[in-house]
Amino acid sequence: MSKRATGIAALAAITAAYLVFRYPLFPLHGMKEFPLHLCLLGAILIAVSGIVKGNRILPIAAALGYIIGFPAGKLFERNYGEGLNSMWIIWLICFAAAILLGIIVNFLVHRDTKR
């Protein structure tokens, strides 16, 4: 698999996940804009790191963070009243943590290969 193919596959995965989360699973979360904004952020990160720069780790981490963040958000959400809950915060934290983990792993892998 070429370096850019990993980025393209991650971009396809995050796009497919967005389409599933936004439309068929909309009654579970009721958020219209947040899934799109998070997906666009992930797609830009994947396009720059995976397709342009050829990174293999960060695009996978971003796509997995988006995909895993949704069920984690639903699993651990707390309701605070009429239409207010913490699902979006948990989803965002999972997404950011996966990206940070991808950056750290990428740094460690590239540091070891340069020695």
pLDDT for 15: 97
SS3 at position 80 = strand
Q: Which residue has the tokens 């497919």?
A: 16
Token pair belonging to 82: 């009429």
For residues 16-24, average pLDDT: 96
Q: Reduced to 3 states, what is the DSSP secondary structure of residue 86?
A: coil
Residue 1, pLDDT > 70, answer no
Q: What is the pLDDT of residues 71-105, one digit of tens each?
A: 999 999 998 887 788 999 999 999 999 999 999 99
Question: Tokens 């695009």 identify what position?
Answer: 59
pLDDT for residue 110: 84
Domain count, the chain: 1
| Residue 18, domain extent | 3-114
For the record, the structure tokens of 69 come out as 């963040």
Kindly state the helix (H) or strand (E) to which residue 39 belongs, with its residue range. helix 34-46
User: Element (H or E) spanning 49, and its range?
Assistant: none
Each residue's pLDDT tens digit, 37-64: 999 999 999 999 999 998 999 999 999 9
Structure tokens at 101: 């983990």
Which tokens sit at 56? Answer: 């293999």
**100 vs 112: which has the higher pLDDT:** 100
d(CA 88, CA 104): 24
Closest CA to 61 of 80, 45, 37: 45
